[in-house]
Amino acid sequence: MAMLKHLLGIEGLNPVTVTTLLDLAESYALLNRSGKTQRDLLRGRTLINLFFEDSTRTRTSFELAGKRLGADVLNMSVATSSVTKGETLLDTATTLNAMNCDLLVVRHNRSGAPALLAEKVGAAVINAGDGTHEHPTQALLDALTIRRNKGRISGLTIAICGDIAHSRVARSNILLLTMMGNFVRLIGPPTLLPSGIEAAGVELFHDMETGLKGADIVMMLRLQKERMTGGMVPSPREFFTYYGLDRAKLAYAKPDALVMHPGPMNRGVEIDSDIADDPARALIKEQVEMGVAVRMAVLDTLARG
Ligand code: ASP
């Protein structure tokens, strides 16, 4: 595998790199389940979690991943409201360079912010979600979860449903899943499907019944109200009626179709609790577990690079 300096997106990766990362993550998943650690691997290295936007799963799992590999982990949460993007990032880069940080995990509400920081800091930069652009570790953990449950990560029909337009998770997943040879379908109202997205090699659907037919995986997305301008959906209730995943709509997919959601979930808006909490159908908890393993694999790979 070519040495990775940063992980700014799925764009730029190839199937070999993805498979190598997933294989390494799989071994970390087994290690985590066995209760063992590898604290020597990143001993003496500093990992900074720099979050300009809220996060629960991503920040804590990067923290846990770093600690399980023995790194010194610092969490910096930065309020964006009072400062402009340019000033914050450049000031922060100067500060981080002075601290000799080795690994920098960045989440920012502006697309491209991690790439800008990567140009300015000595550390290896990992994009933990930038605006509506990419969230590469989410796509990797989703791929690992699918591979563990379906035995492969190619030739599957995967429906991504809901607020595609504002979702960096959708963008990274579309790139990864099409690159690995899956059939990706996007389902949502026209207002929530970005124009021109067909060029990414996906099929578009506006109704769940046709879109879910024959799907192996149903990936639900949160309605990202914080990124919406104006009324893009009539009401949460109406959205649920047409696009919310409940048992009746899941029945359109294959009988063994599995359900995913990156979290945080809006129960009763994009997904019914009955499905979200069904261990026979929902992989949501395993996604969180695989998040730690995938982030360990990414940190390990970048630290060696
Ligand atoms: N946690 C994911 C993200 O940061 C998905 C979401 O927020 O809906 O993009």
Ligand 1 mutation pick, 163, 169, 173, max ligand atoms within 8 A of CB = 169
Å from CA of 44 to ligand 1 middle? 31
Give the CA distances from residue 278 to residues 39, 259, 271, in Å, rounded to whole numbers and listed in that order: 35, 9, 12
Measured CA to CA, the distance from residue 57 to residue 43 in angstroms comes to: 24
Å from CA of 226 to ligand 1 middle? 11
Measured CA to CA, the distance from residue 62 to residue 60 in angstroms comes to: 5
pLDDT value at position 76? 84
Q: Output the DSSP codes for the chain.
A: -PPPS-B--STT--HHHHHHHHHHHHHHHHHHHHT---TTTTTT-EEEEEESS--SHHHHHHHHHHHHTT-EEEEEE---TTS-HHHHHHHHHHHHHHTT-SEEEEEESSTTHHHHHHHH-SSEEEEEEETTTB-HHHHHHHHHHHHHHHS-SSS-EEEEES--TT-HHHHHHHHHHHHTT-EEEEES-GGGS-TTGGGGT-EEESSHHHHHTT-SEEEE----GGG--S-SSS-HHHHHHHH-B-HHHHTTS-TT-EEE--S---BTTTB-HHHHT-TTTB-HHHHHHHHHHHHHHHHHHHHH-
| pTM exceeds 0.75 for this model | yes
- For 287-298, give one letter per residue: b (16+ CB within 10 A) or e: bbbbbbbbbbbb
Ligand 1 mutation pick, 110, 137, 222, 287, max ligand atoms within 8 A of CB = 222
pLDDT value at position 62? 98
Q: Which atom of ligand 1 is nearest to the CA of 169?
A: 9
pLDDT value at position 88? 72
Angle at the Cα of 266 from the Cα atoms of 263 and 272, rounded to 5 degrees: 105
Cβ–ligand 1 contact at 108 (below 6 Å) = no
Q: Which two tokens stand for residue 101?
A: 């940080």
Among 256, 257, 274, which Cα is nearest to 265's?
274
Task: Decide if 156 contacts 146 (C-beta within 8 A).
Answer: yes
Cβ–ligand 1 contact at 169 (below 6 Å) = yes
Identify the residue whose C-alpha is closest to ligand 1 atom 4.
Answer: 129
Cβ–ligand 1 contact at 59 (below 6 Å) = no
Q: What is the pLDDT of residues 141-186, one digit of tens each?
A: 999 999 999 999 999 999 999 999 999 999 999 999 999 999 999 9
What mean pLDDT is predicted for residues 282-295?
Answer: 98
Q: Which two tokens stand for residue 98?
A: 């002075």
Asked whether the predicted pLDDT for residue 230 surpasses 80, the reply is no
pLDDT value at position 86? 61
Higher pLDDT, 193 or 100: 193
